[in-house]
Amino acid sequence: MKIKTLGIVLNQEKRSAATVLGRLEVLLRSLKIEAIVPASGADALPFAKPVPSQDLRSQVDAVLALGGDGTILHTAHLLNGAAVPILGVNLGSLGFLTSFTADQLEEALHGLVADQLPRVNRRVLACEKWRDDTLQSSHRALNDVVAGWGQSTRIVNIRVRINGEEVTTYRCDGLILSTPTGSTAHSLSAGGPIVHPDTPALLLNVICPHTLSARPMMIPDQCELAIEICETSKKLLLSVDGREEGSLEEGDRLAVRLSPQGVTLLQHPDHSYFGVLRHKLHWSGSTHTLRT
């Protein structure tokens, strides 16, 4: 794949951002690659061509996400299903979605130009919010869709159907619907399992259920979920990949299914998913061999 234009999405709050941008400008000039940036972030990248955020997806061959996992999620949101690969370079500690560090910037871009970086496709959720018979909004989630919390901690009743079949009505604080990629995000903190990104599944997890029998559930990723807010004394927040997307009221419905358009990530050739888990979750084990 010939790289002529490279989109750049930057988390300006990272301390190392200014230093990395200086190196990046020199590197792109030497590789004869045009840098393109969403207009909202143009002030930090004077060497890049600014374009409206909605036009980024149609004007770049790839996108360089400089920041962390949140920057990857934001970049996926900007691309909105376009088949444009994302190269993540972490400006902090190693992330779940980024496999290059700031010190590896040159290696990452040379690998991109030489088309030597492995590509992985990550599943994405398509979510529709309905009120009465009116479609209120549509969303895409690389990590998760969350209905929960709000203006009080009173429990709510949420009915779940899968492929039209009744599952149950949960009395809980909310629900998390996640992809395998998102299993190590909000769902994990709510007691959900770690699901390998290649697993063809979706994950339903209940937030603080009012019964000990409620447990996280993995279902085939071809299933369609219908979520209905049956009874609530509060407005629930609808969160998509950590972005607040309005509220949910009694009677509102969510239709969630696998999107036909995933997200393509470019990884380091030596990337190890389990190595990332060991690092991020601080796993450790015995350093000696058991003897019998």
| CA dihedral sign, ordered 35, 41, 45, 48 | positive
Pick from 133, 214, 213, 211: which is nearest to 176 by CA? 214
pLDDT for residue 152: 57
Cα(275)–Cα(194) distance, integer angstroms: 14
Give residue 19's pLDDT. 87
The residue annotated as part of the active site, out of 43, 61, 69, 241, is 69
- Mean pLDDT by runs of 10 across the 292 residues of the chain is 93 86 95 95 91 96 96 97 97 87 96 96 98 96 90 80 97 95 95 96 94 93 96 86 93 97 97 92 64 41
At residue 291, the pLDDT reads 44
* pLDDT digit string, tens, across residues 103-156: 999 999 999 999 999 999 999 999 999 999 999 999 999 999 999 876 556 789
Which pLDDT score is estimated for 132? 92
Q: CA 97, CA 181: separation in Å to the nearest integer?
A: 8
Q: Is 52 exposed, middle or buried (0-12, 13-18, 19+ CB in 10 A)?
A: exposed
Residue of 280, 267, 275 whose CA lies nearest to 65:
267
The structural domains of the chain, ordered by start, are 5-122+262-280 (3.40.50.10330), 125-258 (2.60.200.30)
* pLDDT for residue 15: 80
Q: What was the pLDDT predicted at 292?
A: 38
26 token code pair: 């020199």
The per-residue DSSP string of 105-136 comes to HHHHHHHHHTT-S-EEEE--EEEEEEETTEEE
pLDDT of residue 150: 60
pLDDT at 279: 87
Task: Give the pLDDT confidence score for residue 18 in this predicted structure.
Answer: 85
Rounded Cα distance between 52 and 60, Å, is 13
- Look at the block and give the residue holding tokens 């604080």: 173
Confirm whether 241 is a catalytic residue. Answer: no
